[in-house]
Chains A and B, each alone.
Chain A
Amino acid sequence: MALLKSSKIISTVGVYPSLGALSIRASSWWSEVQMGPPDPILGVSEAYKRDTNPKKINLGVGAYRDDQGKPFVLSCVRKAEAQIASKKMDKEYLAIGGLGDFNKACAKLALGDDNEVIKSGRNITVQTISGTGSLRIGANFLSRFHTEARDVYLPKPSWGNHTPIFRDAGMQLKAYTYYDPKTCGFDFQGALNDISKIPAKSVIMLHACAHNPTGVDPRPDQWKEIAELVKKRNLLVFFDMAYQGFASGDIDRDAWAVRYFIEQGHNILLSQSFAKNMGLYGERVGGFTVVCQDAEEAKRVESQLKILIRPIYSNPPMNGARIAATILNTPDLYKEWLGEVHGMANRIITMRELLVANLKKEGSTKNWQHVIDQIGMFCFTGLKPDQVERLTKEFSVYMTKDGRISMAGVTSANVGYLAQGIHTVTK
């Protein structure tokens, strides 16, 4: 190939004085660029696709599947799309901060309709590129303006992408105890212990509900103690709420911790995603909220958010935001949406129960209570890396190395097979 290129260049030497072209074509700007590892979560799906075993199950990425294992587009979404299409709207740029009707509804969904924060105008909510985009804007904002501290404390473990998000934004990553592998539950004392030592003004990330990857959430009484301790320590709270509605099936219940913290005086940062609860994954719909001291501060913060966003992507994508805004602002569609979210959450809960029942039927004597206790799309099985490897190699069950399975990938048809595989590698 190189020779062909050379001869092509040489033949044009007569036309253009470009003898140097030969060396440039072979020269490279990127010879030092190393091959990077595949994404740990998305890489699972890629491996799954290559597998030819008809019984294969993909329990990797957290995307909801119906009981036939098919991707699910919500009925309220289809209706919203039809409504939008009929209006023949234009495709003019949204504002830097996104669609106003979406931002208002997004904040209301999280904070509650009658929230004092919204009434007083002391929040600023911008539309973002789903949850990741929201977290990154928040991280960039912290990096630029939260000069008193560089440290962001993540729960142990946390969603894998949190780390590069904050690191690439220029923050330092630290951790606080969260998951207790012995109980497959919440290490409450461990968390309080670690939090009590976090230096003032550090940023602490909390998963609002349906902790990813463990599915382990604090109880309300535990949240209250955490809120109090965090306030005493004077820490900046950053809530990641990617599963509102998806955890318990009830959007208000899932937002309880966020609302409680605000009531207790925490001026929080909040990331929201509509990828899961509205099934808008690839449309990239999310919001980023800063709860400020007052409306004047919110205006200042808004102006700086815009200055930050403009050189990243100018303004956010319109389609998903229009769908979400339509759903949130059309009473019939909103009602239908609540029903569908409830339905999705219920199917997950049913699968949890079925999985445990099947494991018992297989003869497993291990304690699988955590499968039912854990909340949301994911289950931290407790499987060790070598057991995960066996499950994948021998049963074609794909999941992340940390033992996390996406319950959404479990169906009434495959739950028995899954239980069989898990029992085999753990007995």
Chain B
Amino acid sequence: MALLKSSKLISRIGTFSTSVGAVSSRNNSWWAEVQMGPPDPILGVTEAFKKDTNPKKMNLGVGAYRDDQGKPFVLTCVRKAEALIASKQLDKEYLAIGGLGDFTKSCAQLALGGDSEVLKSGRSVTVQTISGTGSLRIGANFLSRFHSASRDVYLPTPSWGNHTPIFRDAGMQLKAYRYYDPATCGFDFNGALDDISKMPEKSVVLLHACAHNPTGVDPRLEQWKEMADLLKKKDLLVFFDMAYQGFASGDIDRDAWAVRYFIEQGHNIVLSQSFAKNMGLYGERVGGLTLVCKDAEEAKRVESQLKILIRPIYSNPPMNGARIATTILNTPDIYKIWLEEVHHMANRIIKMREQLAASLKSEGSTRNWQHVTDQIGMFCFTGLKPEQVERLTKEFSVYMTKDGRISMAGITSGNVGYLAHGIHAVTNASSANCISLLKLPDNTNIGEAGQKCGDCYLTLHPLKMN
């Protein structure tokens, strides 16, 4: 190929003078040192799924809602909003840098509540963003530029994988606080409080408002209250990520409770919202970023700087999704339909959780699967280990992320049985060979035999393995 290129160039030398250098330029490369990067851990799952030819394959990777036929679901309220918009034959002029005004107002109202004192006093600024990711990144960039008091952002362990590069690429330092307890598949409340109590003041703490991703484990109300109190005492900057409002419990006000409580308690929060899941607007990229300020004057200053930050990233946000969301939020009939549809989506997820737990029982699994029904939202942190995940994918064509997270949205009444079968197969403790049954002394060298029992990874101390 290089030779063909060279000869093509050489034949032109007669036409254009002094271009002997052309050959070396063509073979010069600007990007010789650029390494092949790894595929995205979440989006890469879907790519692998697409390549699989097994008719029973399941995609439990990315968190995109599916109906009970496993099909993508475009909400009725969205179609109605689109029809309304199309009938108006609106133009396609640029939105403002901060986006569609009617959208940002409704977006803030949805999160904070219609009677929010913050909104009445005008002491917040909300800008339209490129869905949740775009919102988090603008927030991260803003912190990097203006929160000089601290570079540290504390993420719960674990958190959504993309949080890390978002804050890191924006110039912040990533730290962590305990959150998930693998022993209970639940919330490590005391661990979280302990870690929060040690955070340097003015650090940024990221909280998932509801339906924690990837674990599905949310604090209870009393736990949220204690956290709010401690975070305030420690003078920490709270950054809420709310990607699932309405999707967690089926009720948009209930899902926004923590956000509203924190604000009432005096936290001037940063808040990211996404409409990808709760309105099914995934690819339209609809989201919002809100900064709750001291007063309206501060909000104006912050707004001016947000615009200066946004303009050299993408100038102004995409219009279509924002118009749809605004229409839904501001048209009472359509808004009502939306609330029902969100409720319906959340309910189907809850039903799948119940069916999965029940199917695992009928497969004969003796493990504790309580967490499958306790956890909230689109995802379930199964507790599966990487090796078990790998088997599930290789032997059953069930695709999920390595951390054991499954998207409940990808489960249907049609495939839940098959899934339960696969999960049981890879987690079933083998009988007599099971290490846990042998009652070996503490420092026994276990070696190869110990590796085979998937169940025991949960209970054996890792150091005991060779």
Which of A's residues lie within 8 Å of B, judged by CB?
1, 5, 8-9, 16-18, 20-22, 24-39, 42, 61, 63, 71, 73, 77-78, 81, 85, 88, 90-96, 116, 120, 129-130, 132-133, 136, 145-147, 161, 164-165, 167-168, 224, 228, 231-232, 234, 236, 263-267, 275, 279-284, 290, 292-294, 297, 299-301, 303-304, 306-308, 310-320
Contacts and interface: CB of A to CB of B under 8 A. Distances in A.
A29 B285 contact: no
Contacts of A90: 72, 74
Contacts of A290: 31
Contact of A310 (B40, B94, B309, B314): B40
Contacts of A26: 294
A266 B25 contact: yes
A152 B348 CA distance: 53
B433 interface: no
B425 interface: no
B173 interface: no
B313 A312 contact: yes
B301 A293 contact: no
A63 B31 contact: no
B93 interface: yes
Interface residues of B, number: 100
A171 to B, nearest CB: 12
Contacts of A39: 97, 307-308, 311
B422 interface: no
A116 B308 CA distance: 40
Among B34, B137, B266, B281, the most chain A Cβ lie within 10 Å of the Cβ of: B34
B21 interface: yes
B22 interface: yes
Contacts of B298: 28, 30-31, 33
Given A161-B311, A297-B31, A91 B72 contact: yes
B266 A224 contact: no
Interface stretch (B127-135, B192-200, B407-415, B445-453): B127-135
A316 B260 CA distance: 31
Contacts of A265: 9, 19, 21-23, 25-26
A284 B318 contact: yes
A281 B120 CA distance: 33
25 contacts: A16-B225, A24-B267, A28-B294, A29-B237, A30-B301, A36-B304, A39-B307, A63-B94, A73-B92, A78-B89, A81-B86, A85-B86, A90-B74, A91-B78, A91-B280, A130-B314, A234-B25, A267-B25, A283-B92, A293-B32, A300-B35, A304-B37, A313-B131, A317-B284, A319-B320
Given A28-B298, A319-B318, 6 more contacts: A35-B304, A42-B311, A71-B92, A85-B86, A132-B315, A307-B165
Contacts of B82: 85
Interface in B287-336: 291, 293-295, 298, 300-302, 304-305, 307-309, 311-321
B120 to A, nearest CB: 9
Contacts of A136: 312-314
A237 B169 CA distance: 25
B93 A71 contact: yes
Given A24-B266, A35-B301, A304 B92 contact: no
A317 B312 contact: no
B387 interface: no
B431 interface: no
Contact of B317 (A147, A168, A284, A314): A284
Interface of B: 1-2, 5, 8-9, 12, 16, 18-19, 21-23, 25-40, 43, 62, 64, 72, 74, 78-79, 82, 86, 89, 91-97, 117, 121, 130-131, 133-134, 137, 146-148, 162, 165-166, 168-169, 225, 229, 232-233, 237, 265-268, 276, 280-285, 291, 293-295, 298, 300-302, 304-305, 307-309, 311-321
Given A30-B293, A317-B318, A299 B36 contact: yes
B30 A20 contact: no
A264 B37 contact: no
A299 B82 CA distance: 37
Contact of B93 (A63, A116, A147, A310): A63
Contact of A283 (B265, B313, B320): B320
A33 B72 contact: no
A36 B25 contact: no
B30 A165 contact: no
A279 B92 contact: yes
B259 to A, nearest CB: 16
A164 B311 contact: yes
B134 A313 contact: yes
B142 to A, nearest CB: 9
A237 to B, nearest CB: 10
A311 B229 contact: no
A75 to B, nearest CB: 12
